[in-house]
Amino acid sequence: LLQTVMLLLRAEGLDSCAQECWAAFPKTVGEFLALPAERMLFTGMAIGHADPRHVLDGFRAERAPLDEVAEFIGL
């Protein structure tokens, strides 16, 4: 779901960053948002325009080659 939203945002000229880190602080985030005890915020998303001149906006994680992470059988 997040990837689909992120792709739709890109199509509209917006950048985004999924943030799963919120799940690491369920008590703190839950108290701040006044969530019931049976709920927790698992993920968030930053949405906006990247600044290509900023060092963090230029960071790109390295990806393993496709053949290291997938095997296509019968193609």
Domain residue ranges in the chain: 2-50
CA distance 73 to 75: 6
Q: Is pLDDT above 90 for 75?
A: no
Average confidence (pLDDT) over 7-18: 96
What's residue 21's pLDDT? 87
What's residue 2's pLDDT? 92
Residues 6 or more apart whose CB falls under 8 angstroms from that of 39 comprise: 30
Joined tokens for residue 12: 């509209």
Average confidence (pLDDT) over 18-26: 89
pLDDT tens-place string over residues 25-69: 989 999 999 999 899 888 999 999 999 889 888 788 899 999 999
Q: Is pLDDT above 80 for 1?
A: yes
